[in-house]
Structure 1
Amino acid sequence: MSTFSGIEMGKRSLFAHSQSIQTAGHNLSNSSTEGYTRQRVQLKATDPLYRPDLSRAETPGQIGQGVSVESINRLRDELLDTRIVAQTNQKGYWETRDSYVLQMEQVFNEPADQSVRTRMDQFWDSWQELSLYPDSRSARQAVLSRGETLVDSIHQQYRGLQGIRDMLNGDIEAVTTQVNDITRQITALNEEIVKVKAMGDNPNDLMDSRDLLTEKLSNLINITVDKRDVDEEYVIHVDGQELVQGRSRRVFELKSGVTNDGYAAVVWGDSGETASFSGGKLGALIGLRDGDLREEVQNLDTMTMTFVDLVNDIHRDGTGANGKTGLDFFTEQDFINNVAGNYDRDGDGAYDSSYIYRITGANVLNPREQIGLSGSIRLSSSSGTVDVPYFPTDMVADVVRRINDSGAEVVSSLDDSGRLVMKATTSSSPDNPDFVIRYMEDSGHFLTGYAGVLDQRGAEGAYSWDRADAVDALSQRNPSRSVSPIAHPAGWMEINPLMKQDVQSIAAGIAESDGTLHPGDNRVALAISSIRNTPVMVGDSRTFDDYFAEAVTRAGLKGEQASRSLDTQLAILGELHGLRDSISGVNVDEELADIIKFQHGYNAAAKFITTIDEMLDTVINRLKV
């Protein structure tokens, strides 16, 4: 053992306590730094002088060599971090939904005098007033004025919903860019961390930065972290797809023309496949834009299209006070100016599709009459087709109800004359157009000879939209039909300019075959006002009142769900963050106490070195031979 080994031992103690004091000071300096994890110096006894082999000196026991710094570690619970990452993506999801669903509720503006429902009630009331005074010009003026107010309210609600979708689209683009930027930073940190670890050091501050970025990323998308090899690989997955692996990463891109209304879809940059997100802010944004808000716009379009079609269908048969007849109250803008609905869908210069919105049978039916027929009606649905059976004991109303409850994207009803009406709804798939009857087939005779909709039974007589002149499959007794409208009727519906030019063009009654309009005839005004509570199938709703009640309820329940789920996630995360702070957070009092402790240790080590120095001085300089 060296004479100077005591000084070396004291030096190690000085370095160890000095490093401990510096680490405690580093903790104090970063007590307010986001994502910082407190660090601790791991001290160990230095290996003794002699090893247990044949070369060791014959001394009593091993001679200790003091203390040394083994490592500087972060106080981190990785299992707790995993739970926080998992809960953070849910917090980001519900936080985003809560914000945007609140905006959606404000667009509906219920209950309020300015809501669409209130304006429509006033519109029906004006027709009821006209039915009481069919010769009154002022009653017609009230119908026109309230009709204009209703149109403005529908336009305003449509613009509000579409405006939220535009905001969502902008946020999707911004968050996608943010995700790519965070993954770039994480991969850069991964590279630096691997280099530092290769030198035998612990890159604590770098790992803090990586963990903080990972937590921010989990707020944006639903991720899981897999540390396969603590020294080499740090892997991040999103919905089963690898996003980050060590120093490599995948990026997201925006691909236009994939979703309805020309919005861009988020796709994987290397494969072009649509990316899927089940949580996080980005998952909520995409779900709101392409799900909730799209559904609300489609529901508003369905209500508008049904409303316009029904009012025009009745008003067209009426005669105004000025003798004009055959006029629509609202303007209808067809998707294509072709009576057969033929359309060149693939753009090759030849008709290949038929865009038909409504088909009305040729025969008058009694809703309470038993049909005495059996068979099955096949209609287009969100997942292909759906079969609707009917039996001899069924009444006409039973078959109509069964069609409407089948989940088909076609609804049926009986018009005021008792004829069967088949109408297309909006499509759940963005690949299919809205308000287009895509398929209709009957294995029996209900839609053919009984209702007068189709000309032949079976597959050979089916109506299919994916060919030109598909209307040839309709009954030869010439059932009425209408071409599909252009996209978003809620955005373009207007009152017929002829009504505005001459309010007397508004029909209240129906003229006789010789053109005579009897004073007091109110059949048109009464029929239009009665639409209010008639089961006309506004999408999935039976009546217009049902539609408004369901729309408001749906928005309210979504808002309540988002608010409660957000409160739950905030409470869970609050507990998890509190637990992590108790483990990894910097306690100022504790660090100050440690500094005092290490300072005493440092002073003791210094005193030890001074003592050894005095001993050596005595031996070397003061002993006389």
Structure 2
Amino acid sequence: MTSTFHGIELGKRGLAAQQTALSTTGHNIANANTTGYTRQRAEMIATKPVSIPGMQIQLGTGVEVDKLVRLREDYLDVQLRGENKSLGYWEAKSDTLTKVEELLNEPSDDGLAYTMDEFWKGWEELSKNPDSAAARAVVSQKGVAVTETLRHISESLNQIQDDLKLVIKTKTDSVNSLAAQIGNLNDQIGRLVPNEYQPNDLYDQRDVLIDQLSKLVDVKVSPPNKDTGVVDISVGGVLLVSGKTANTLTVDTSSGVVDPANIKIGNTQVALNSGELLGRIESFGILGGGVKSTIPTIQEKMNNLAMTFVNAVNTVHEKGMNLDNINGTSTNKVPFFIGTNMNDIAVNPDILKSPSLIAAAKEEASGQSSTGNGKNAQDIANIKFTALGFPGINSTADDYYRNIIGQLGIDSQEAQRMQSNSEVIIQQVENRRQSVSGVSLDEEMANMIKFQQAYNASARMVTVVDQCLDKIINGMGRVGL
């Protein structure tokens, strides 16, 4: 026969189990809007039954909460982190390409194409009025406009690259900060799990940090250790987090481009495969065959455009005759432009001081010319339609620039398309993850009512058993009194 107080124990266990379930439900409701929170569920099991002597039966002893389960699917975490790295990479590429598009601002009345077109028109007008001081002044000022536009583009590209250097440092610091926080959480979890605690909220915090890290670099997360709950995180096959130890990622940008050999975790070279950090590095400039560096590539093409254009104009200009040559006061011929690259090109200061040095005339067979001769100005104007020797291609300056703009547009559109695709996939995965791990207030309210009713029933059970015991203790053996 069971103990007289068996019913009290049953009720007490029921009260404790339902109270734990109610507390878990309340915890879920309180964190319904907490980023990264995983809803929990109290898993209840029947406690060990007792055998009744003389009877071939076992009597139940009630219920207890076995564990608090995090309702989460590891597969969805892996899938989301895999797409997160792609989103970070294409966001970084798209951001840089968009900034360059805004800088070049084509087509518009403020862009380089319009400024160069006005430059050619200036020479065309000068060819018609070679002895006009006003026409000469217009040509020199149109030249100034072209050189200022090219220098502005160069300075702005350099500024974008300098900004990228700062962003790379910031993102690298973020990687190291997240790694340190994950290592700290590993330490806390590793001290609780062996003592049979369930640090579910610490698991959630660690998962949020890993999700953030996965957007910056391509991470691989090991399965949690069964004994300690600790995870290791590697990037490119090199451990970034090993247990509670966080290693340091370094990226050397001091040379103006990044050598892959100088991307290291600790002292070990690491190959970044994707993620926002790689997108920023490739935009800034990275060495290696087949790797397309965004800013250095555009800088190189724009510099080729500028110097090929300058050399073509100077070559024709120095073959012509200026007013001083025609009047016999000087035999000197000067270049129209000066400078060695896009950063320092300018209209010759001597021409700005004295527009008469503009060589609008063409030398005749006799070695002489006249102030009304505008053939050389026309030859310079015709450079617009002349194929020039750009590296790897013969093309007019206008077509070469259009090719730069066209390729930039294609690359930008591709980056935006890939970013959009990644966002759609991530949203789909996140929706599926929320359907498993997210808190539904309607569901939690239903659970709260269910556990409340069970709690009330257990309390009623205690009351009934108390009344029975009161009858036995205070009501029995009192006959005749």
What TM-score results when the alignment is normalised by the length of structure 2?
A: 0.90
Equivalent residue, structure 2, for 1:281: 276
| Residue in structure 2 matched with residue 25 of structure 1 by the alignment | 26
Counterparts of 1:142 and 1:104 in 2: how far apart (Å)? 30
Report if aligned partners of 1:169, 1:263 keep a CA contact under 8 Å in 2. Answer: no
Aligned to 2:222: 226
Higher mean displacement: 318-327 or 11-20: 318-327
Quote how far apart the aligned CAs of 1:513 are.
8.8
Q: Say yes or no: does 1:566 pair with 2:419.
A: yes
Whether the aligned pair in 1 keeps the contact of 2:36 and 2:207 (CA below 8 Å) is: yes
Please name the residue that 2:111 is paired with: 115
Q: What is the CA–CA distance in structure 2 between the aligned matches of 1:186 and 1:227, rounded to whole Å?
A: 15
> How far, CA to CA, are the matches of 2:320 and 2:452 in structure 1?
100
Q: For 1:539 and 1:564, locate their aligned partners in 2 and report how far apart those are by CA, in whole Å.
A: 31
Residue 496 of structure 1 corresponds to 348
454, 458, 473: which one pairs with 1:605?
458
For structure 1, which segment, 609-618 or 177-186, has the greater mean C-alpha deviation from structure 2 after superposition? 609-618
Give the 5 Å matches for 1:43-58.
Answer: 43-50=44-51, 57-58=53-54
Can you give the 5+ residue segments of structure 1 that lack an aligned partner in the other structure? Answer: 51-55, 334-488
Give the Cα–Cα distance (whole angstroms) in 1 for the partners of residues 226 and 342 of structure 2.
Answer: 57
Task: Give distance in 2, aligned partners of 1:169 and 1:533.
Answer: 40
Task: Measure how far apart 1:20 and its partner are.
Answer: 0.4
SS at structure 2 position matched to 1:32: coil
CA distance in 1, matches of 2:372, 2:160: 48
Distance 2:267 2:366 in 1: 70
Shift of 1:191: 0.9
Q: Over the residues paired in the alignment, what is the CA RMSD in angstroms?
A: 2.3
1:165 aligns with 2:156: no
Distance 2:246 2:32 in 1: 32
Match of 1:268, SS? strand
Cα deviation for residue 106 of structure 1 reads 1.0
Counterpart position of 1:554: 407
The CA distance in 2 between the partners of 1:131 and 1:533, in whole Å, is 16
Q: 1: distance between equivalents of 2:401 and 2:237?
A: 40
The answer to whether 1:505 aligns with 2:354 is no
Q: Aligned runs of 1:180-219 on 2, under 5 Å? A: 180-219=176-215
Q: Deviations over 1:411-455 (max 9, x none)?
A: xxxxxxxxxxxxxxxxxxxxxxxxxxxxxxxxxxxxxxxxxxxxx
* From 103, 118, 131, the counterpart of 2:127: 131
Letter in 2 for 1:289: F
What does residue 258 of structure 1 align with?
Answer: 255
Count of matched residue positions in the alignment of Structure 1 and Structure 2: 463
Q: Go from structure 1 to structure 2 and tell me whether the alpha carbon gap of 1:312 and 1:135 turns closer, same or farther (over 3 Å shift).
A: same
1:142-181 deviations in Å (ceiling 9; x for gaps): 2111101111111222222222222222211111111111
Shift of 1:518: 4.1
d(CA) in 2 for partners of 1:560, 1:512: 53
Matches within 5 A, 1:55-134: 57-134=53-130
Partner of 1:304: 306
Aligned residue in 1 for 2:288: none
- The secondary structure found in structure 2 opposite 1:278 is coil
Tell me the secondary structure at the aligned position of residue 537 of structure 1.
strand
Q: Which has the higher helix share?
A: 2
1:160 partner letter: S
CA distance in 2, matches of 1:231, 1:268: 31
The 5-angstrom pairing of residues 449-468 of structure 1 reads none
1:85–1:224 contact (8 Å) kept in structure 2 = no
Work out whether residues 239 and 277 of structure 1, in 8 Å CA contact, stay in contact via their aligned partners in 2.
Answer: yes
Partners in 1 of 2:112 and 2:146 — Cα distance? 7
Cα separation, partners in 2 of 1:292 and 1:265, compared to 1, 3 Å: farther
Correspondence 1:215-614 to 2 at 5 A: 215-227=211-223, 229-232=225-228, 233-260=230-257, 267-271=263-267, 273=269, 275-290=270-285, 291-323=293-325, 324-333=331-340, 489-511=341-363, 516-541=368-393, 542-614=395-467
Is contact 1:107–1:157 with CA below 8 Å preserved after alignment? yes
Q: CA–CA distance in 2 between the matches of 1:99 and 1:265? A: 26
- Give yes or no for contact 1:42–1:71 (8 Å, CA) kept in 2: yes
Contact 1:105 1:555 in 2 (8 A): yes
- Tell me if the contact between 2:193 and 2:199 (Cα under 8 Å) persists in the aligned partners: yes
Aligned 8 A contact 1:43 1:68 in 2: yes
Residue identity matched to 1:15? A
The answer as to whether partners of 2:322 and 2:333 remain within 8 angstroms in 1 is no
Following superposition, the deviation at residue 519 of structure 1 comes to 4.7
CA contact (8 A) 2:87 2:422 kept: yes
* Paired AA for residue 321 in structure 1: L
Q: Secondary structure at the match of 1:613?
A: helix
Structure 1 residues 305 and 231, CA, compared in 2 at 3 Å: closer, same or farther? farther
Instruction: Tell me: CA distance 1:512–1:500, structure 2 relative to 1, closer, same or farther (3 Å).
Output: same
Instruction: Return the alpha-carbon distance in structure 1 between the equivalents of residues 463 and 130 of structure 2.
Output: 116
Task: Give the letter aligned to residue 322 of structure 1.
Answer: D
1:7-26 map, 5 Å: 7-26=8-27
C-alpha contact 1:256 1:264 (8 A) present in aligned 2: no
1:2 corresponds to which letter in structure 2? Answer: S
Return the alpha-carbon distance in structure 1 between the equivalents of residues 55 and 454 of structure 2: 29
- SS of equivalent to 1:128: helix
Contact kept, 8 Å, 1:312 with 1:330, in 2: the verdict is: yes
For residues 451-506 of structure 1, the C-alpha deviation after alignment (integer angstroms, 9 at most, x for no partner) is xxxxxxxxxxxxxxxxxxxxxxxxxxxxxxxxxxxxxx111101111111111111
Report the CA distance shift for 1:538/1:231 in structure 2 as closer, same or farther (over 3 A).
Answer: farther
Q: Which has the higher contact order (CA 8 A, sep 6+)?
A: 2
Q: CA deviation at 1:512?
A: 6.2
Query: Does structure 1 retain, via aligned residues, the 8 Å contact 2:29–2:439?
Result: yes
Q: Which residue of 2 aligns with 1:426?
A: none
**One-letter amino acid of the structure 1 residue matched with residue 454 of structure 2:** G
Return the offset for 1:245: 2.0
> Which region of structure 1 is more displaced relative to structure 2, 610-619 or 193-202?
610-619
Structure 1 residues 265 and 506, CA, compared in 2 at 3 Å: closer, same or farther?
A: farther
Distance 1:161 1:74 in 2: 49
Distance 1:143 1:265, change over 3 A: farther
Moved more, 236-245 or 586-595: 236-245
Does the aligned pair in 2 maintain the 1:97–1:284 contact within 8 Å? yes
d(CA) in 2 for partners of 1:329, 1:599: 90
Partner secondary structure for residue 234 of structure 2: strand
Query: What SS is found at the alignment partner of 2:37?
Result: coil
| Contact 2:238/2:265, CA 8 A, preserved across alignment | no
- Give CA-to-partner distance per residue, 1:321-356, whole Å, 9 cap, x none: 1114331111134xxxxxxxxxxxxxxxxxxxxxxx
In structure 2, the residue corresponding to 1:507 is in which secondary structure? coil
Counterpart CA distance in 2 for 1:93 and 1:131 is 52
Q: Which runs of 4+ in 1 moved over 6 A?
A: 262-266
Give 1:586's aligned amino acid. V
Greater fraction of residues in strand? 1
User: Is the 8 Å Cα contact of residues 134 and 521 (structure 1) preserved in structure 2?
Assistant: yes
Hey, what's the Cα distance between the residues in 2 that align with 1:595 and 1:614?
A: 28
Deviation at 1:585, TM superposition (A): 0.8
Q: 1:501 to 1:329 in 2, by over 3 A?
A: same
Q: Give the distance between the partners of 1:603 and 1:61, measured in 2 at CA.
A: 29
Whether the 8 Å contact between 2:116 and 2:146 is mirrored in structure 1 is: yes
CA separation of 1:182 and 1:576: change in aligned 2, threshold 3 A: same
Contact 2:28 2:439 in 1 (8 A): yes
Cα distance in 1 for partners of 2:235, 2:333 equals: 59
